[in-house]
Structure 1
Amino acid sequence: MKPQTGTGLANGKIILAGEHAVVYHEPAIALPIDAVYVKADIVSAKEGQTIQCELYTGDVNEMHTSMAGLQFAIREAFKVASTKEVTDHTFTLSIESTIPAERGRGSSAAVSVAVVRAIFDFLDATLPEETLWNIVQGAETISHGNPSGVDTATTSGTRPVFFQKEQELQTLHLNMPAYLVIADSGVTGNTKQAVQHVSTLQERIIDPTTQETGSDAVQSIGAIVNETKAAIEEQDPQKLGQLMSENHERLQQLGVSHDVIDTLVDTAHQNNALGAKVTGGGLGGCMIALVETEEDALHLQEQFMKQGAQAVWIQSLAKKENTK
């Protein structure tokens, strides 16, 4: 008898604009990135419920508490998609991810999205978007406490998301003749430390010349995000690049960039980039650069690797809805 199988895919994500300011009720924009992905495969087994992934191989019921969110997603998906008890299913679930962890790329949400999709496929059940959202948000709540929903929306979708605390997520149409080059600095970021640092600067002067405080910089980033949204809607890569660089300067003022990131940003500007910035929590992690042609993107990828980047990906910004 042929074994029962199921497969699920999910995108990675990056923050295009607004990181850190979003904590203070300013808007931000995130992009799905299919240059990195998670793939989950599930196959029926004679006995047991086994999971195989980079962090853990073993019984689903004995997963470490650090993986409680994923464990919830697995159990909840079976519960919703099947009329049988979760314990009545025997399977092996394999997870493959090219999304680097701890880099602000939506790794945990992407894993949950791929796994839920695989389980519904395995059970030949229809998966409404709302059901996927509810299960993955439940998993993210267990993993992170109070998730914004951005990672869930971007890793499960194909369109950019404009978001602001306590407001409904908006999806944007992106079809721009340009490429994003994403570089992993190789330095593990520290979002928690970066967020705490920014909070200490809110009432402090960070620019003696203008007398600007950290709070002023945060508000300025919010304005940049709104202009970024307009640049996306107008399909204007030149404007988008300029805004990315302005955003980076503000994040530098707030002390959440890193010397390695700044070197990569400088390299981008020296090699035809329209703009470049740190992305995500900062103090390491990843940076992004915008270029107009694939040739420029490939050249910049090579330059980043020469500068010591751990990995570099290229993402087209044209006709995003048509990608996987």
Structure 2
Amino acid sequence: MTDLRQDTLDSFAEIFGRPADGLWSAPGRVNLIGEHTDYNEGFVFPFAINRRTIAALGLRDDRIVRVGSSFADELVEIDLSDLRPEALSGWSSYPLGLAWALGEFGADLDAVPGFDLLLDSNVPVGAGLSSSAAIESAVGFALNDVWQLGLDRRTLARAGQRAENVAIGAPTGIMDQSASLLGERDAAVFLDCRSLHAEIVPLGLEAAGLEIVIIDTRVSHAHATGGYAERRASCEAGARALGVESLRDVGVDDLDRAREILDEVTFRRVRHVVTENQRVLDTVRTLREQGPTAIGDLLDASHRSMRDDFEISVPELDLAVETAQANGAIGARMTGGGFGGSAIALVPTDALSRVYVALDGAFAEHGFGQPDLFTVTASEGAKREN
């Protein structure tokens, strides 16, 4: 991270011809459990990871905004007066969309100055670790500082979700931005997506001798199109048919009635969300009462539900989960929106090498590209670096 921070500052000075006013960062996230429950006003349990997006920013004395990044060649320029969702496209929609969204939460975009912005990151893109929320949270945290908006972290998370929904066109919930902004070391964020009440729950992984292994299948996914939007539409249709505001209002005891009312596919989509909400509650309770070594079965059940009921897994993710489980992992599941990306495995430290070797061998045997394997730790949320 030290090199990444310095490289970003150096690149900012080289590109914009002056030093940055400051450096801010925000992490990606791993969702320990609670997938596709956030936009159903349910429960999620993510944690911020020690992979971060860095934002170097300097205010200007005019209305121009210029944004660059280490992952794109072009410098995108726009006048703040022209900043609206339909004017945005490509990767710059994330930082510029966030700047626009702040106007929906109190920033007077007719009065604030323009800025130069440079982004760098070591959060893998397309891996299901929410590189997009890391960008939105880092930029939001930076602009909140330099524009002196006084917004709290929960409001910045809502602005990030607004940018994602409107400027990007991805119908995501608020989980990713909440994790990126509210995360703490060795803890996860237990978030009620209806009330937005958040509790920090200690994980205790290091004390238990456990590691979280990320298995990035390198199968990329795009949330703004395809299956993600279809799954959300199915959930909304199920809620309407059941006469409730959202699937948050459906309990496990209601599933027999739901089976009678819904078509088979919609029922399975609903069953995933309802049982996943319960698994989040069970995971938080189990962590508090028994510790992290006892949550493996819940992680395994979550993956089966996403594979069979929500149908968002892919063969590479299934292989990753099954191989980890067979070689010492306490539990494993795909994480993120699905259709690619990453799986996570909860692995005792002394079983790490065996899991790594087995995964490499299994992917080669099945003719898949080699996965990217690394461990993550629960980290702190967005912050000013200097």
Give TM class, smaller chain: 0.7 to 0.9
Bigger shift: residues 16-25 or 231-240: 16-25
Q: SS at the partner of 2:295?
A: helix
RMSD over equivalenced CA pairs, Å: 3.9
1:267-293 per-position Cα deviation (integer Å, ceiling 9, x unaligned): 211221001111122222110000122
Match of 2:198 among 170, 184, 192: 170
Q: Distance in 1 between matches of 2:269 and 2:159?
A: 37
CA-CA distance at 1:189 after TM superposition = 3.1
Change (3 A) 1:137 1:23: closer
After superposition, what is the alpha-carbon deviation per residue over 1:94-136, rounded to whole angstroms, capped at 9, x for unaligned? 1012223344322222112112333455678876435634543
**1:27 counterpart = 2:43:** yes
Q: 1:15 aligns with which of 7, 14, 31?
A: 31
Deviation, 1:151, is 1.6
1:260 aligns with 2:313: no
Q: Partner amino acid for 2:347?
A: V
2:355 alignment partner AA = L
User: Residue 335 of structure 2: which of 266, 279, 283 is its match?
Assistant: 279
What corresponds to 1:312 in structure 2? Answer: 373
Q: Distance in 1 between matches of 2:61 and 2:273?
A: 56
CA contact 2:23–2:55 (8 Å) conserved in 1: yes
Match of 1:105 among 122, 125, 129: 129
Amino acid at match of 1:271: N
Equivalence for 1:65: 89
Kindly tell me: are residues 84 and 132 of structure 1, through their superposed partners in 2, closer, same or farther at Cα, counting changes over 3 Å? same
Separation in 2, partners of 1:7, 1:14: 24
Secondary structure at the aligned position of 2:24 is classed as: strand
Q: Secondary structure at the match of 1:173?
A: strand
Equivalents in 1 of 2:204, 2:307: separation in Å?
27
Given the superposition, is the C-alpha separation of residues 273 and 46 from structure 1 closer, same or farther in structure 2, using an over 3 Å criterion? Answer: same
Q: Any residues of structure 2 matched to 1:18-167 within 5 Å, and which?
A: 18-34=34-50, 36-43=51-58, 49-53=65-69, 54-55=71-72, 56-61=74-79, 64-66=88-90, 67-74=92-99, 85-86=111-112, 88-89=113-114, 91-119=115-143, 128-129=152-153, 132-133=156-157, 135-142=159-166, 143-144=168-169, 147-159=172-184, 160-167=188-195
TM-score when scaled to structure 1?
A: 0.78
1:237 lines up with 2:252 in the alignment: no
1:109–1:323: structure 2 CA closer, same or farther, 3 Å change rule?
closer
- The TM-score with structure 2 as length reference comes to 0.67
> In structure 2, what is the Cα distance between the partners aligned to 1:236 and 1:323?
27
Counterpart residue identity of residue 32, structure 1: A
Once residues 134 and 9 of structure 1 are traced to their aligned partners in structure 2, the CA distance between those partners, rounded to angstroms, is 18
CA change 1:242–1:64 in 2 (3 A) is: same
In structure 2, the CA distance between the partners of 1:223 and 1:81, relative to structure 1 (3 Å rule), is closer
**Equivalent residues of 1:182, 1:286 under 8 A apart:** yes
Q: SS at the partner of 2:201? A: coil
Do the aligned residues in 1 keep the contact of 2:180 with 2:382 (CA within 8 Å)? no
Identify unmatched segments of 5+ residues in structure 2: 1-16, 239-258, 364-368
2: CA distance, partners of 1:125 / 1:25:
28
Distance 1:233 1:103, change over 3 A: same
- Counterpart secondary structure, 2:26: strand
Q: d(CA) in 1 for partners of 2:344 and 2:22? A: 34
Cα gap change, 1:302 to 1:96, in 2 (>3 Å) = farther
Amino acid of the structure 1 residue aligned with 2:213: V
Determine the C-alpha separation between the residues in 2 that align with 1:23 and 1:80.
24
Which letter does structure 1 place at the counterpart of 2:48? Answer: P
Alignment CA distance shift 1:77-1:165 (3 Å): closer
Structure 1 range deviating more: 73-82 or 215-224? 73-82
Cα distance change of structure 1 residues 253 and 204 upon mapping to structure 2, 3 Å threshold: farther
C-alpha deviation, 1:3, in angstroms: 3.8
The structure-2 alpha-carbon separation of the partners of 1:280 and 1:176, relative to structure 1 and needing over 3 Å to count, comes to same
